Amino acid sequence: MSEFIFYFRTEEGRIERLQNMITVASESILGAYRYEEALRDFPEPIVFWVKEEGDSIGIAPLVLSR
């Protein structure tokens, strides 16, 4: 089991990390999140989106900052 954090992308392409939206799940959760994108200026280096473009929910393996 791994921890994942959710992201939201607006139609305009603005990305937001949803601080309180964390889940514990197996890697199989990534099945619905098909579109991979590298992140900059966020703790997680990569996010997986449901939709390739436009507004979408995404999920990223959680990186704990210490």
Q: What is the pLDDT along the chain (66 residues), one digit of tens a residue?
A: 889 999 999 999 999 999 989 999 888 888 889 999 999 999 999 999 999 999 999 999 998 754
CB 5 within 8 A of CB 22: yes
Type and span of the H or E element at 13: none
Q: What is the pTM of this model?
A: 0.88
Instruction: Please give the structure tokens belonging to residue 9.
Output: 């992308």
- Tokens 């994108």 belong to 37
